[in-house]
Structure 1
Amino acid sequence: MKAATVKQIKDELSNLSSSELVELVLRLSKFKKENKELLTYLLYEASNEDGYIASVKTEIEEQFKSVNTTNYYFIKKTARKILRITKTYIRYSKKKETEVALLIHFCLELKKVQPSIKHHVTLQNLFNRQINLIEKAIATLHEDLQYDYNLELEKLLK
């Protein structure tokens, strides 16, 4: 089965009644956890972005507390998993401010991990890639926000 284009789907959805749309959305939410998470964000959390960022930051902290620090292999695997989940939450929001705030928080938590990531090339590269992404995202923001986030980034890099 070949998937329809976004335009075709949009045209078809515009022809449906509201009850049919509700039925389709509920059916869609049953298939993947990501669909349900996105719907949850759009319905409940999109109106309160600060609360959303705070809850995701709390989740990131909890996940970093459970990192197995016996060797760098486990730290690396867990850090990548946490980053993948963080990127998913960023994708739900689509706001650069949210992206910058969550990536800075991820990097802060990664930097706190003991033993230090400075002694492992792969983890240091992961950290550096996120710093580059943060810098690119900051460049697209308003000047006031750029200044604030650049201060946070400087603190992170010290």
Structure 2
Amino acid sequence: MKTATIKILKDELKHQSSDELLELCLKLVRFKKENKELLTYLLFEASNEDRYIESIKLEVDELFNEINTKSFFYIRKSVRKILSTLKKYIRYSKKKNTEVELLLYFCLKLKQFTPSILKSPRLQNIYDTQMRMAKKAMENLHEDLQYDYNMFIEDQDLI
């Protein structure tokens, strides 16, 4: 089966009734967990981005507390899982402000993590990459927000 383009899908959806659209949405939600998460964000979380960010930060805190610290292999594996979850939530929002806030929070948690990430070059590379991505996303924000985030980076010694 060949997948239709977004334009074709959009045109076809215009011809559907509201009941048919509702049924299609429910089928999508049943099909994959990410579809359900995205629809949950769009319906309940998108209207209050600050609450959405705080709920993600709490989840990140829990995930960092559950990391197995017996070896750096397990730490790296857990950190990559946390990062992929975080990236998924950032994709749902599509807001640069949210992206910067969550990436900086991830870097802060990683920097504060014990044992120190300085003992693992791979973890240090993950940290450096995410800081670069946060700074790149900051470039698209208003000057005042850029200043606030740069002050946060300096205050938390994330450089």
Which blocks of at least 5 consecutive residues in structure 2 are unaligned? none
Structure 2: distance between partners of 1:104 and 1:93 = 16
Distance in 2 separating the partners of 1:51 and 1:25: 25
| 1:22-75 alpha-carbon deviations (Å, 9 max, x no partner) | 000000000110000000000000000000000000000000000011110000
> What letter is aligned with 1:42?
L
CA contact (8 A) 2:111 2:158 kept: no
2:99 matched residue in structure 1: 99
The answer to whether 1:21 aligns with 2:21 is: yes
TM-score calculated relative to the size of structure 2: 0.97
SS of corresponding position for 1:157:
coil
Letter in 2 for 1:135: K
Query: Hey, what's the Cα distance between the residues in 2 that align with 1:153 and 1:88?
Result: 23
Instruction: Measure the CA separation in 1 of the matches of 2:22 and 2:158.
Output: 47
After superposition, where does 1:9-158 map in structure 2 within 5 Å? Answer: 9-154=9-154, 155-157=156-158
Secondary structure of 2:31 counterpart: coil
Deviation, 1:118, is: 0.5
Cα distance in 2 for residues equivalent to 1:149 and 1:96: 12
**CA-atom RMSD in angstroms:** 0.8
The Cα of 1:156 is off from its aligned counterpart by 3.9
5+ unaligned residues in a row in structure 1: which ranges? none
Runs of 4+ in 1 over 6 A off after TM superposition: none
Q: Tell me the matched-pair count.
A: 158
Q: Letter of the aligned partner of 1:147 in structure 2?
A: Y
Partners of 2:11 and 2:51 in 1: how far apart?
34
